[in-house]
Amino acid sequence: MKETDVAILGGLSGISAGISCRRHYPDKKVILIRKEGTILVPCGIPYIYGTVGGPENNVIPDGLLERNGIELLKGEAVDVDREKKLVTLKDGETVKYDKLVFATGSGPMVPPIPGIDKKNVFPVKKEFDYLSDLMKQLDNARDLIIIGGGFIGMEFADECRKGRDINITVVEALPHCLQMAMDNEFCDEAQARLEETGVKVLVNEKVEVILGDEAVTGVKLASGKELKADMIILGIGAVPHTELAEKSGLELGFRNTIKVDRFMRTYTDPDIYACGDCAEKVSFFDGRPTGVMLASIVTSEARIVGANLYSPTHQNCGAISVFSTVINDRAFGVAGVTERFVKQTETKYVITEAEAPDTHPGGMPDSTLTKVVLIFTKDTATLIGGAISGGKPVGEMVNVLSACIMHHMTADDIVKFQMGTHPALTSSPIMYPIVNAACKAVIPLKGKSSIV
């Protein structure tokens, strides 16, 4: 039997939680227990099939654990005795703990579509060997159908086309791809960028049956249309891995995630914490449960868990929802709420936009036009949402918006923003689109113009 101060069950979020614990409590022993031999960068999985060139180029090295004094124990945890504070592994190994962290993550959602179990139908699992096999099959495929037009589906479609003679079709049940994350104008822009590459996108369509005998040969849509396919990738979301938590008697909440408080402690046991996709999320804006699963949330929660294990240091402010993607070299980012969401509430709001090249002058090489849309509450002028499209700077600009939202900044605050600029790196300080969009909001927020 091994003994440790902190035992962590899981992969990526577990690594962050362990590092955070070691930073705050360097005298504590930490053991990370995981069944996966290799940990992949989840957000990088679609890029294995294009830009990155293989799963071996998308891994998190175990040396990161060693450098931070974290012991790695490879094996599958199958039982947790909370009374004895004992974790039992599948091979019979046991680990006695003082504090336990569930960071067991999530797996792909597999819908009950007839034929879903046929050969060459691939849910996106976070497993090295599985994804290697997916690549071998993809290299021999001629007609690929991707079910789901969210981030996973769109990124896979964009990457799988690179260097291959392959027909790709994305099938999305909603009226717009990326609709759960972006407003229509950005959804339409992203779809148009993908279609420029030759990828076909079908919206308002649902796969009803997967055709074929042993292996897939096509799909039948709810509209009655049939599409040829020798390979299918499922990109329709994820479900939390909480089977062991439930078996251990921990209380589950929204969508079977582990219920936790603002300190990331489980409701059931004060010595057990949870973070990442397996832990329940609440919205930053209204405190209600939300099903969003994002790396920005996962890593924040993990840092909070590590800090709080032996002293209540940080509280979780809730999920702001910050994400970005790249489709055919055009970047898209969103932070906070969308206009679509705000319209479903009674919130009165002001929405503004601004555009500017991401260099100054705009005639510099590789300059890209950046578009920013900001949403402010009418009563307090507080920023609650923003969306950006443009070049690579979008990735960090959306992080700026997230910080503004988290700290309840108003339009007046952002107007006074002092940005560092450089001709080759940023928009002109005169035309900086985040600030200019805020400037445009000041007058209507004061009631001198009509609101949306």
DSSP-derived 3-state class of residue 34: strand
Q: Which two tokens stand for residue 111?
A: 């819908």
Q: CA neighbours within 13 Å on the CB side: how many for 366?
A: 9
**Share of residues in the chain with pLDDT > 90 (%):** 94
pLDDT(449) > 90: no
Distance (Å, whole) CA 128 – CA 95: 26
Task: Give pLDDT tens digits for 204-232.
Answer: 999 999 999 999 999 999 999 999 999 99
- Residue 11's pLDDT is 82
- Residue 404's pLDDT is 98
pLDDT(81) > 90: yes
CB neighbour list of residue 190: distance below 8 Å, 6 or more residues apart: 154, 177, 178, 182, 325, 327, 330, 332, 389
11/358: higher pLDDT: 358
Q: Chain centroid to CA 3: how far?
A: 34
Average pLDDT estimate for 387-395: 97
Task: Give pLDDT tens digits for 144-155.
Answer: 999 999 999 999
Average pLDDT estimate for 135-142: 96
Mean predicted lDDT score pLDDT of the chain: 95
pTM for the whole structure? 0.94
373 close to 437: Cβ distance less than 8 angstroms: yes
Q: Specify the amino acid at residue 152.
A: I
Task: Give pLDDT tens digits for 84-100.
Answer: 999 999 999 999 999 99
**Share of residues in the chain with pLDDT > 70 (%):** 99
- The domains located in the chain, with CATH, are 2-107+239-308 (3.50.50.60), 121-236 (3.50.50.60), 329-445 (3.30.390.30)
Average pLDDT estimate for 353-358: 97
Query: Pick from 129, 162, 149: which is nearest to 200 by CA?
Result: 149
Task: Give pLDDT tens digits for 161-192.
Answer: 999 999 999 999 999 999 999 999 999 999 99
Q: Environment class of residue 113 by beta-carbon count within 10 Å: exposed (0-12), middle (13-18) or buried (19+)?
A: middle
- Residue 308's pLDDT is 98
Average pLDDT estimate for 392-397: 96
pLDDT(80) > 80: yes
End-to-end CA distance of the chain: 64
pLDDT(452) > 50: no
